[in-house]
Each structure stands twice: as C-alpha cells, then as structure tokens.
Amino acid sequence: MSAVAFLRWDRSTGASSAETAHLLRMRSSTLTAWRRLWFSDRLRPQPRGPRIEPIDAAERELLKAIFYLAGPGISVATLRDIFPDRPRAELEWPRLKCAG
C-alpha cells in the first residue's frame, strides 16, 4: 500500500507517524492500523459478501447448452429464472465470452 510505503520512507527521514498522516490528510490512527496490518499479513485483501459455491460440471454444461440453443440474445433475467441460485456474474459470463 502506497501510504504505508510512504510512512516507512518518511519515518526514515525522521518524521513522526502523526506528521506523515497529516501530510496524507488522514487520521494517525488509521495509518498506524494500516502499518500494523502490513507487518502482520501484508494487508491481504479479505473476501466480502457471502461465499459462493462453484458451479458443478453438470450445471455448467446445462448453462452452456441453454446458452447455445437460445443464443447470445437470451437475457440474464431468463437465465436467472432457470438458475435462481447462481450469481448474476456467473450467468453473464457466457454472454460476455460470446460477445468478446
């Protein structure tokens, strides 16, 4: 993260964390927390939202077959009626692949 890298560099010049936070227009506590997280796990991104189970092979083949039969004009709404448990992005994938 750029702010943490800047903090490390700025501290090497003798500046305090509070001074660096002021320069970056952020709270000192935020910058300190980011620095602590950087040393613990390199600020690894955390997944957000519910975990989505991957589509199984049979369902993927069914999705491909429906898409092949209906063509790229099939709407995501129609696909959602057929596959109500699948996320929207997964149903858009074949359409994007065909268009691209």
Which pLDDT value is given to residue 100? 46
Confidence of residue 29 (pLDDT cuts 50, 70, 90): very high
Residue 76 reports pLDDT greater than 50: yes
- Give the single-character DSSP code of 47: -
pTM of the entire predicted model:
0.46
Cα 25 to chain centroid distance, Å, stands at 26
Which pLDDT value is given to residue 30? 92
Q: Where are the domains of the chain?
A: 2-41, 57-99
Calculate what percentage of the chain has a pLDDT beyond 90.
22
Mean of pLDDT values over 60-68: 85
Average confidence score pLDDT of the chain: 84
* Cα separation, 93 vs 90, whole angstroms: 5
